[in-house]
Amino acid sequence: MAACQPVIKFADVGQRFVGADGKRIDALDGLSFEIGRHEFVAVLGPSGCGKSTLLRLIAGLIRATSGSVEIFGMPVTEPRDEIGIVFQKPTLLPWFNVLGNVTFPMRHKHGYVGDGERERAHKLLELVGLDGSATRRPEELSGGMQQRVAIARALLLDPDILLMDEPFSALDALTRDEMSFELLRIWTERPKTVLFITHSIPEALLLADRVIVMTGRPGRVREVLDVPLARPRSMKTLSEPTFHELANHIRGRLFSRPVAA
């Protein structure tokens, strides 16, 4: 599945913190994997397995204590332009309207917002299904709509890589499923290399080409799993036998004792 040159490459990456009590905490240990161009990869694991640390390593927000993280064959030493991030919470700026929030990366990075960006922002709002909401305030929007704005914001500077840190976990179950299909549609229209962090097995299977299953502290790769479900995926995908087999398989990998199917 990976193209000739991987977009993201982890080689034996370890990450250590010194905890508040002075003890060493291993967040990640011996992490190795590659992600190809325009691949959709989900990282699945229990809470506290270092999934978010992994995302922050790629974003260049923190540096690995050992091993190497490379993007397009170059080691990550600082944040780079090729990356857009969507966080768990929408974290919109309450003093800007929707349009202001989407164009914020431009304003923040370069100090101005040109007509070009504003036009791009309007197109992105259309893409995420929010055309006509440009002048609304963030507080008027539902959680799902706010996260749509956050996705549009992450896409403004047209990054090659989209990092998503449990973006739908704060949403209610119905909105969450809806947003998953929305994300697939957006990804089809704007192909990106996506790294999607989640702790939901159905969400990972529904979205991803491959699922990286991680174990708890220290975070290690338990298994990298291909998801051979046909695209475009839909409601029907959820009831395919392969879907259930994969879900059960992952459950088996995550928990040492067997789980009743």
Residues at the contact surface with other proteins, assessed by CB under 8 A: 56, 59-61, 78-79, 83, 85, 87-89, 91, 93-95, 104-105, 107-109, 111, 129-130, 137, 139-145, 148, 173-178, 180-182, 185, 200-203, 234-235, 238-239, 243-244, 247-248, 251, 259
Beta-carbon contacts of 255 under 8 Å, excluding residues fewer than 6 positions away, are none
- In contact, 171 and 179? CB cutoff 8 Å: yes
- In contact, 110 and 147? CB cutoff 8 Å: no
Of 4 and 235, nearer to other proteins (C-beta) is 235
Of 29 and 161, nearer to other proteins (C-beta) is 161
Smallest gap, in angstroms, from Cβ of residue 31 to other proteins? 20
- In contact, 43 and 54? CB cutoff 8 Å: yes
Residue 84: CB atoms within 10 Å: 24
Smallest gap, in angstroms, from Cβ of residue 194 to other proteins? 16
42: left (phi over 0), alpha (psi -120 to 50) or beta: beta
Smallest gap, in angstroms, from Cβ of residue 35 to other proteins? 18
Helices (H) and strands (E) in the chain, counts: 8, 10
Of 4 and 259, nearer to other proteins (C-beta) is 259
Q: Using the structure block, give the residue that is written with the tokens 């995550």.
A: 254
Rounded Cα distance, 63 and 199, in Å: 24
Q: What is the Cβ-side half-sphere exposure of residue 90, based on CA atoms within 13 angstroms?
A: 22
Of 6 and 159, nearer to other proteins (C-beta) is 159
Residue 67's nearest CA partner among 54, 79, 78, 80 is 54
Smallest gap, in angstroms, from Cβ of residue 172 to other proteins? 9
Smallest gap, in angstroms, from Cβ of residue 4 to other proteins? 27
Residue 218, preceding peptide bond in cis (omega within 30° of 0):
yes
Of 29 and 203, nearer to other proteins (C-beta) is 203
Of 32 and 97, nearer to other proteins (C-beta) is 97
- In contact, 77 and 243? CB cutoff 8 Å: no
Of 100 and 219, nearer to other proteins (C-beta) is 100
Q: What is the Cβ-side half-sphere exposure of residue 236, based on CA atoms within 13 angstroms?
A: 5
Smallest gap, in angstroms, from Cβ of residue 129 to other proteins? 6
